[in-house]
């Protein structure tokens, strides 16, 4: 089974809910997709840029199970997200400082060029230049999947449109799927996984629904990162030969466990 190289951010997050849930935690799509894939049995590496404040992550307990061979250290601060949600788990507002992730596009392009036979997952988030990265992946005939983040999804989907049919799998939530359907002919897309919070997730192949799964009911503690957990789990099970329906069932169950679990704390640097 080949490694999954996950292009995206790792961040220091602050999540806020009206009922006082949330707080500071470790975040970032590249981290959560990689962790979920690893837990589901597929080796994964975050292709990311970390500042001085998170440069100790590769040695942190619980994170050292990841393949950290593709991260880039940079002088400065890592990406930060301030994420405000309503009681239904819908994102209300996001404030971001990208920090050293401004170097992510250049780092990703260099990594792709030196690993032409790898399998990639692209977390389509700012400040990544998705046109440059997807163009390089298609030029090299690399296998890749993609996901989006609702606050920037409209722009990112439009920028990515010429290369979307080349992706093996797209991961979107229900609102992002509506944007996708307005931008491209979804009948040209090989596989789209559409999530809808606690409601049924579905997989559409060339526009036709081929599987669905309802997540097990769980009281949500933290929703940020649930979609990334689903994506990493789904990709891992598909790579191990699971059917679409089997992979979706495993992925929705993993996402449900994730939202009920405590947030991932920001580990302190080791002393000495």
Average pLDDT, the chain: 93
Asked whether the predicted pLDDT for residue 254 surpasses 90, the reply is yes
Query: Is 49 among the domain residues?
Result: yes
pLDDT the model gives residue 261: 87
pTM: 0.94
Average pLDDT over residues 11-40: 92
Q: Which residues contact 204 (CB under 8 A, 6 or more apart)?
A: 186, 189, 191, 192, 194, 210
Q: Of the ranges 56-65, 73-82, 181-190, which one carries the lowest mean pLDDT score? A: 56-65
Residue 265 maps to a domain: no
Residue 230 lies in a domain: yes
What is the maximal distance between C-alpha atoms in the chain?
A: 57
Poorest-confidence range of 10-24, 46-60, 183-197, 240-254?
10-24
Question: What is the pLDDT, as a whole number, of residue 3?
Answer: 95
Task: Tell whether 267 is covered by a domain.
Answer: no
For 36, what's the count of Cα atoms within 13 Å in the CB-facing half-sphere?
Answer: 33
Picking from 6, 42, 35, 214, the residue whose alpha carbon sits closest to that of residue 128 is 6
* Angstrom distance (rounded) from CA 123 to CA 136: 15
- The pLDDT value given to residue 146: 98
Do the domain assignments include residue 133?
yes
Q: Is pLDDT at 252 greater than 90 in this prediction?
A: yes
Domain span holding position 109: 4-260
Residue 58 lies in a domain: yes
CATH of the domain at 152: 3.40.1190.20
Residue 195 located in a structural domain: yes
pLDDT, mean of residues 174-200: 96
- pLDDT given for residue 271 in this prediction: 60
Q: Which residues, at least 6 apart from 48, have a Cβ–Cβ distance to it below 8 Å?
A: 7, 8, 9, 10, 28, 30, 31, 70, 71, 72, 101, 104, 107
Residue 268, domain member (yes or no)? no
Burial class (CB in 10 A: 0-12, 13-18, 19+), 19: exposed
**Could you give the number of structural domains in the chain?**
1
Confidence of residue 257 (pLDDT cuts 50, 70, 90): very high
pLDDT at 256: 93
């Amino acid at each position: 089974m080949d490694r999954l190289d996950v292009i995206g951010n790792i961040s220091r997050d602050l999540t806020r809910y009206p009922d006082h849930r949330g707080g500071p935690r470790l975040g970032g799509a590249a981290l959560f997709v990689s962790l979920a894939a690893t837990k589901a049995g597929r080796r994964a590496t975050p292709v990311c840029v970390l500042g001085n404040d998170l440069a100790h992550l590769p040695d942190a307990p619980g994170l050292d199970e990841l393949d950290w061979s593709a991260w880039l250290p940079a002088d400065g601060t890592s990406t930060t997200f301030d994420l405000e949600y309503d009681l239904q788990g819908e994102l209300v507002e996001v404030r971001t400082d990208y920090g050293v992730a401004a170097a992510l596009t250049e780092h990703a392009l260099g990594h792709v060029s030196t690993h032409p036979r790898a399998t990639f997952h692209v977390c389509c988030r700012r400040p990544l230049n998705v046109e440059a990265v997807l163009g390089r992946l298609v030029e090299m005939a690399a296998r890749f999947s993609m996901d989006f983040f609702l606050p920037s999804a409209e722009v990112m989907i439009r920028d990515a449109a010429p290369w979307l049919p080349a992706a093996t799998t797209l991961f979107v939530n229900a609102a992002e799927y509506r944007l996708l359907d307005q931008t491209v002919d979804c009948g040209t897309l090989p596989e789209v996984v559409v999530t809808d919070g606690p409601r049924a997730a579905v997989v559409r192949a060339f526009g036709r629904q081929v599987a669905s799964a309802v997540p097990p009911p769980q009281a949500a503690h933290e929703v940020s990162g649930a979609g990334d957990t689903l994506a990493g789990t789904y990709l891992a099970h598909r790579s191990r030969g699971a059917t679409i329906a089997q992979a979706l069932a495993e992925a929705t169950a993993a996402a449900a466990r994730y939202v009920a679990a405590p947030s991932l704390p920001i580990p302190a640097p080791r002393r000495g």
